[in-house]
């Protein structure tokens, strides 16, 4: 956090703002290649943004409710962190479906919108995760590895109050999402665009599964998660398992539809 005159800026908020701008810029670039007028999407984008913010906060509060039991007012302080990317995607998707239902004459399909979003989403997520570094959240178990990050005592949780360096989970996620984003742009330019995959939903479903799988694995070394009874899994991991099963089902169905056509 820093001040410029009478204004106070939160680095987490600046990262989120940069993430939104970069995502939209990349999505617009891919939309232009598909001869889609980006200006036509703005009413829908505004709805999706509202849904993303609401979904991101609600999902975080559901999976990490124990963090707010003694400080209810903090549930509203989104500038301090606590925005779930998974919840943001779900919220944006629900609001998009509602908006498209209310505007039946809109020419662009839901799956086209979903596929376009993947061209910006991985890079936006990476920038958003950078905000976790400034807030000192989303870190993992203690580590002696050279890239371990120092966490201030006020941000440590029991039983690791005396540890100093921890796994930078946010950095791991940044690497995985950017890697997918680069691979997607490369594949789409040389192969995917020739197969007219944009609009089939396969890009979105593939990334959703990929990200869910990465998050599921990384959560094994996350220390601030809420556990799902005595399973050894966090609540978020159980949710991700369900999501992955659903996504695989949709992917198989979409692949079969594209093959037959």
**Contacts (Cβ under 8 Å, ≥6 apart) of 218:** 140, 169, 172, 173
47-57 per-position pLDDT tens digit: 999 999 888 88
Considering the domain boundaries, does residue 211 fall inside one?
Answer: yes
Number of H helices, E strands in the chain: 8, 4
Domain range for 247 is: 2-37+109-260
**Contacts (Cβ under 8 Å, ≥6 apart) of 256:** none
Share above pLDDT 90 across residues of the chain, in percent, rounded to a whole number? 52
Considering the domain boundaries, does residue 103 fall inside one?
Answer: no
Among the listed residues 124, 93, 89, 95, the one whose alpha carbon sits nearest the alpha carbon of residue 111: 93
User: At residue 224, does pLDDT exceed 70?
Assistant: yes
Considering the domain boundaries, does residue 185 fall inside one?
Answer: yes
Read off the pLDDT band of 254 (50, 70, 90).
Answer: confident
| Average pLDDT score over residue span 11-20 | 86
What is the model's pLDDT at position 78?
A: 62
3-state secondary structure of 166: strand
Considering the domain boundaries, does residue 169 fall inside one?
Answer: yes
What is the model's pLDDT at position 150?
A: 95
- Tell me the chain's radius of gyration from C-alpha atoms: 19
What is the model's pLDDT at position 218?
A: 95
User: At residue 136, does pLDDT exceed 90?
Assistant: no
| pLDDT, greater one: 218 or 136 | 218
Considering the domain boundaries, does residue 61 fall inside one?
Answer: no
d(CA 226, CA 207): 25
Neighbours of 3 (CB within 10 A): 8
Q: What is the mean pLDDT of the chain?
A: 87
User: At residue 261, does pLDDT exceed 70?
Assistant: no
Considering the domain boundaries, does residue 97 fall inside one?
Answer: no
Model-level pTM? 0.86
| Total count of domains within the chain | 1
Considering the domain boundaries, does residue 180 fall inside one?
Answer: yes
Considering the domain boundaries, does residue 189 fall inside one?
Answer: yes
| Average pLDDT score over residue span 231-249 | 90
149-178 per-position pLDDT tens digit: 999 999 898 889 999 999 999 999 999 999
Neighbours of 138 (CB within 10 A): 20
Share above pLDDT 70 across residues of the chain, in percent, rounded to a whole number? 87
Read off the pLDDT band of 58 (50, 70, 90).
Answer: confident
User: At residue 2, does pLDDT exceed 60?
Assistant: no
């Amino acid at each position: 956090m820093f001040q410029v005159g009478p204004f106070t800026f939160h680095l987490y908020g600046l990262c989120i703002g940069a993430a939104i701008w970069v995502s939209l810029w990349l999505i617009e670039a891919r939309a232009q290649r598909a001869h889609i007028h980006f200006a036509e999407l703005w009413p829908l984008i505004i709805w999706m943004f509202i849904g993303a913010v609401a979904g991101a906060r609600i999902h975080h509060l559901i999976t990490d409710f124990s963090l707010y039991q003694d400080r209810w007012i903090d549930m509203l302080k989104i500038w301090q962190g606590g925005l779930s990317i998974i919840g943001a995607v779900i919220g944006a998707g629900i609001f998009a479906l509602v908006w498209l239902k209310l505007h039946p004459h809109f020419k662009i399909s839901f799956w086209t919108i979903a596929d376009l979003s993947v061209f910006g989403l991985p890079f936006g997520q990476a920038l958003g995760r950078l905000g976790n570094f400034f807030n000192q959240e989303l870190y993992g178990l203690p580590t002696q590895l050279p890239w371990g990050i120092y966490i201030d005592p006020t941000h440590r949780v029991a039983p690791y109050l005396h540890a100093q360096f921890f796994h930078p989970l946010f950095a791991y996620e940044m690497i995985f999402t950017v890697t997918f984003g680069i691979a997607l742009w490369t594949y789409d330019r040389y192969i995917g665009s020739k197969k007219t995959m944009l609009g089939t939903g396969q890009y979105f479903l593939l990334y959703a599964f990929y990200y869910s799988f990465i998050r599921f694995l990384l959560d094994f070394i996350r220390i601030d998660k809420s556990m799902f009874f005595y399973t050894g899994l966090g609540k978020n991991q159980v949710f991700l398992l369900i999501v992955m099963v659903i996504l695989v089902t949709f992917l198989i169905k979409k692949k079969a539809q594209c093959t037959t056509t």
